[in-house]
Homo-oligomer: A and B are copies of this chain.
Amino acid sequence: MEIAELGEFGLIKHLTKEIKLENKSSLKGVGDDCAIIQYQEDMQTLVTTDMLMEGVHFDLQYVPMKHLGYKSAIVNFSDIYAMNGTPRQIVVSIALGKRFTVEDMQDFYDGLQLACQEHHVDIVGGDTTSSMTGLAISITCLGEARKEDIVLRSGAQENDLVCVSGNLGAAYMGLQLLEREKTVFNQQYREAQQRGDKRGLEELQAAQPDFSGREYLLERQLKPEARRDIIERLREAGIRPTAMMDISDGLSSELMHICEQSNVGCRIFEERIPLDYQTAVAAEEFNMNVTTCAMNGGEDYELLFTVPLTMHDAVSQIEDVKVIGHITKPSLGKLLVCRDGSEFELKAQGWNPLAPPTSEGE
């Protein structure tokens, strides 16, 4: 169905008709000039926002709308967890071109709502409008936390342990796989077009690329998760990180943020950086250095945090958390210690969306 048939208000009604507000703090959702929210009086409000642009942050040739909806919400929840808070509400703005149908938007909302259900977050408002070109998505997430629970980037202290959750570089390798398949597909498609090979074109469109054995990498790229589980385990273990942030631009870039805002240095050990087996295999295949992928790949949405040295035993017992180094005096620099003992100053080669022409994700 064409979106013009419903119009802005019709589309919003259609997409939001099944939204139920789950949180007590969501007093009023979609349908007025503003949403109304009220947290308990001892709570502080956390606010984060992310904008995703077609052709920059996602490629609809291989990203399904439902996954896009899911990921758009998750990347915001991840920022709230990274402050040691709980996400509660989002407002969702979308600008879409004429090629999108009501069904596309329904898929996007299905993904969005799935993420919201899993994290008990309410969709309380937004803006739906048109775009002259691609799809633009902007989500703002509100969350809450007790004042004494909030963890900033600026609290890391000398001798603290540097920890990460999960493993790194997988989302980046997933992107490489998808980009390679896209290039191959487009090449074959052009050739079939030039030959006038109708049947070849049909076969190409029906074919699914073979990603067997690499499903995990694709999932990390297309359907990332926000690590609420880690926040909960830390709480259960009585550990309050001294500094924390989520890894969206790459470990290297995020370590530099924590060090600069905490006015400290760090020593990170290459051999301690958690990698999945599939990430290593794919890096080998692409002739890439797997440590570079893990340090600079980005989009992992894992948590990077520091804890006091006295917490070493407690934090080591938490499943899926690894100590990768420690915090030092600022004068010692921000160093990566390689397997052969050589040391390198960290560089933020993380993804820079405003850099001169690059291919996506680099």
Q: Is A91 an interface position by the 8 A CB rule?
A: yes
Nearest CB of chain B from residue A76's CB, rounded to whole Å? 10
- Identify the stretch in A26-34, A156-164, A334-342 within 8 Å (CB) of chain B at 4 or more residues: A26-34
B-facing residues in A51-97 (Cβ within 8 Å): 51, 53-57, 79-80, 82-83, 85, 89, 91, 93-95
Please give, as numbers and ranges, the residues of chain B lying within 8 Å of A57 by CB-CB distance. 129
Q: Give 11 new A-B contacts, CB below 8 A, not counting A34-B79, A56-B95, A56-B129.
A: A32-B245, A33-B153, A33-B245, A34-B80, A38-B43, A45-B142, A47-B124, A47-B142, A48-B125, A51-B136, A129-B354
A71–chain B nearest beta-carbon distance, Å: 15
* Contact between A356 and B54, CB atoms less than 8 A apart: no
A91 touches B140 (CB 8 A): yes
Comparing A5-13, A201-209, A288-296, the segment that makes contact with chain B is A5-13
User: How far, in Å, is A1 (CB) from chain B's closest CB?
Assistant: 12
B152 & A32 in contact (Cβ 8 Å cutoff) = yes
- Please judge, given known A-B contacts A11-B354, A33-B246, A131-B53, whether A140 and B143 are in contact too, CB under 8 Å: no
In the complex, the answer to whether B7 meets A127 with C-beta atoms within 8 Å is no
Given known A8-B352, A129-B353, contact A138–B51 (CB-CB < 8 A) = yes
Report chain B residues within 8 Å CB of A3.
Answer: 354
Flag if B53 contacts A132 (CB, 8 Å).
yes
**Which of B33, B47, B79, B129 has a CB less than 8 Å from the CB of A37?**
B47
Taking the complex as formed, is A150 at the interface, i.e. its CB lies under 8 A from any CB of chain B? yes
User: Is A79 in contact with B33, judged by CB distance below 8 angstroms?
Assistant: yes
Interface size class of A (residues with CB under 8 A): 35 or more
Kindly state whether residue A177 has any CB partner on chain B within 8 Å.
Answer: no
CB of B355 within 8 A of CB of A7, answer: yes
Asked if residues A38 and B49 are in contact (CB atoms below 8 Å), the reply is: no
Q: Contacts A47-B89, A352-B8, A353-B8 given; indicate if A95 touches B37 (C-beta within 8 A).
A: no
Asked if A4 CB lies within 8 Å of chain B CBs, one says yes
Q: Which residues of B contact A46 (CB under 8 A)?
A: 34-37
Q: For the complex, give the distance between the alpha carbons of A36 and B144 in Å.
A: 9
Nearest neighbor of A253 in chain B, beta-carbon distance: B9
CB of A89, distance to nearest CB on chain B (Å): 7
Residues of A286-341 contacting chain B, CB below 8 A:
none
Given contacts A6-B354, A132-B133, contact A33 B48 (CB under 8 A): yes
Hey, which chain B residues are within 8 Å of A80, CB to CB?
Answer: 33-34
A41 within 8 A of B: yes
Q: How far is the CA of A147 from the CA of B36 in the complex (A)?
A: 9
Question: Which B residues are CB-close (under 8 A) to A36?
Answer: 44-47, 83, 150
Contact at B261–A47, with CB atoms within 8 Å?
Answer: no
User: A44, B27: Cβ atoms under 8 Å?
Assistant: yes
Partner of A44, one of B37, B124, B245: B37
Contacts of A143 in B (CB 8 A): 34
Inter-subunit contact B49/A127 (CB<8 Å): yes
- Taking a contact as CB atoms closer than 8 A, the residue among B4, B35, B93, B125 that contacts A356 in the complex is B4
Cβ contact within 8 Å between B48 and A45: no
CB distance from A19 to the nearest CB of B (A): 15
A184 to B197, CA, bound (A): 48
Query: Is A50's beta carbon under 8 Å from chain B?
Result: yes
Beta-carbon contact of A35 and B51 below 8 Å: no
Which residue of chain B is the closest to A49 with respect to CB atoms?
B91
